[in-house]
Amino acid sequence: MAERLNKIINELGINKTAFSKSIGVSRNHIYQLTNGQQHSVSRSVALLIEQKYNYRADWVMTGELPVMNLAKELTEKMKGMDDETLRTVSAYLDELRKGGCK
């Protein structure tokens, strides 16, 4: 679990203090989690990480794949797309559902 939390922090490019502040958890608690002094993360903290950074709570707690919440990630990516691009994506998804795209 410490390895997964350190991975998140490293991928975000922030330090443990910034990470702890960003999810509203004490710096000391994050320090204990990332240094193996505590061997499990609570569901509530894992959900905070998922909500803020999109790393699945189950992955944070257990390592169960997938790592990211794909539906949320795709939704966030689509927010910046113009209507024409969204229509193209929608048509592509329709083709995938029909089994037509390879």
16 with 56, same domain: the answer is yes
62 with 79, same domain: the answer is no
Say which CATH number the domain at 23 has: 1.10.260.40
CB 75 within 8 A of CB 86: no
85 with 52, same domain: the answer is no
Local confidence band at 101 (pLDDT 50, 70, 90 cut-offs): low
Total count of domains within the chain: 2
6 with 49, same domain: the answer is yes
44 with 78, same domain: the answer is no
Domain that holds residue 62: 2-68
Q: Write the Ramachandran bin of 55: left for phi over 0, alpha for psi from -120 to 50, otherwise beta.
A: beta
CB 69 within 8 A of CB 59: no
pTM: predicted TM-score of the whole model, two decimal places? 0.71
Mean pLDDT in residue range 12-26: 97
Q: What is the pLDDT of residues 77-91, one digit of tens each?
A: 888 899 999 899 889
